Amino acid sequence: MIELSNEALILIFLTLIVIYPTLLLLVASFFSRRERERTVKREVRQDYERQLKKLSRLLKAELTERLDQFLSEFLAELAEHLSQQVDIEADVDRQRRRIEAETQKYAANLKKLEEKLTADWQKSEERSRQTLEVLIDEAQKRFNQQFEEELAAARRAIKNYQETRMRKIERKLTALVEDVAYRALKKRLSFSDQTELIYKALEEAKQEGFFEDR
Amino acid sequence: MGSQELLKTILADAYTIDDFRRQLRIRRERLADELFRQSRPENARDQAKEQAWRQHQALAAEAQKAQGNKVIITLAIKLPKKEIRRLGRWFRANVHPQVLLDLRVDPQIIGGAIISWQGIEKDFSLRSQIKNIVWETRLKP
């Protein structure tokens, strides 16, 4: 074990005497501070709680007010919408009734128009039939007339053609007969025959009065 | 000789228009010789010239008149002079005493004659008779 001198002990004692109050002070200070802190904390907490309560009240009030306002606006708007919807429904109903009325009117008009058209069509058909009959009759007459004219023209053309052909044939036949007669008689007619024919022609002319004064 | 007598003399020997013109030309040449002959005495020359000139003029007038009595005859053959004289005599006996023949030949008429007198022509040929026969027996359409 350590042995301490008196002086040391005294010094320690003195030191302790000096340190003890300090320590006491420190401890006291420590506790005091601690107490103060607690107090401050409590106060702060209380203040916080108060503030919080206040803020809660304020927030609640604000929220309540806003909610009321929103609800009232919403309700007003809803009421307005409902009112508008009612108006629209009423309008739609009116329009529907009007459309139904118009449809009925249109159907009635359509029926009338159909009846009128049917009647007109029947009249027109009758008129057309009559006109067509007249036209057919006229066309038939014209056709018959034209046919008769064309037939007559064709007959005339055929007759003309026949006559022309006959004239041509006759001319050819005459020329042929003349040629044959010429060839046959040229060799067979003697001089006395020729003179006889000449005087016969002269006598014929005389008998006809060809040489009489004109 | 007067112009009438001279014309008769010419016509007595000329039956066709060609013969007549030939005879006329000969007579005119004789008259021209008479007109320009120099062998006559001076005093008789003018008188003879004048007479020849008058005869020449009168003959020309008669010849013109005679040629108006022309008959154109177309025959199938050419006739000899003897037959022409016969034909001329027939015409002068039956048609006109101063008629002149204008003879033409067309073998196509076969026989008979085509006669043209005073501007009118008529066919009395055999060809015409054949044509008439063909026409009368023509085909009917």
The identity of residue A127, as a single letter, is R
pLDDT number for residue B116: 94
pLDDT digits (tens, 9 = 90+) for A78-107: 888 888 888 888 888 888 888 899 888 888
**Which one of B77, B90, B118 has the shortest CB-CB distance to A202?**
B90
pLDDT number for residue B134: 77
DSSP assignment letter at B114 = E
pLDDT digits (tens, 9 = 90+) for B49-66: 777 777 777 777 877 777
| pTM, two decimal places | 0.51
pLDDT number for residue A201: 93
Q: What is the distance in angstroms between the Cα of B121 and the nearest Cα belonging to chain A? A: 9
Q: Does the ipTM exceed 0.90?
A: no
User: In 3-state terms, what secondary structure has residue B79?
Assistant: coil
In this prediction, residues B22-47 reach a mean pLDDT of 73
| Confidence at A150, pLDDT banded by 50, 70, 90 | confident
In this prediction, residues A198-213 reach a mean pLDDT of 90
Residues 152-181 of A with CB under 8 A from B: 159, 162-163, 166, 169-170, 173-174, 177-178, 181
Between the CA atoms of B49, B50, B54 and B59, what dihedral angle is there, to the nearest 10 degrees? -10
Mean pLDDT (chain A, rounded): 86
pLDDT number for residue B90: 94
Going by DSSP bridges, is the β-strand pair B120-125/B112-117 parallel, antiparallel, or unpaired? antiparallel
| Confidence at B38, pLDDT banded by 50, 70, 90 | low
Interface residue of B78, B139, B140 to substitute, partner A, most A CBs within 10 Å? B139
| Confidence at B138, pLDDT banded by 50, 70, 90 | low
C-beta of residue B115 within 8 angstroms of C-beta of residue A205: yes
Q: What angle do CA B129, B131, B134 make, to 5 degrees?
A: 110
Cα separation, A72 vs A80, in Å, equals 12
Closest CA to A185 of B74, B137, B107, B115: B107
Cα separation, B107 vs A179, in Å, equals 11
pLDDT digits (tens, 9 = 90+) for A39-69: 888 888 888 888 888 888 888 888 888 888 8
Residues 32-71 of B with CB under 8 A from A: none
In this prediction, residues A101-119 reach a mean pLDDT of 88
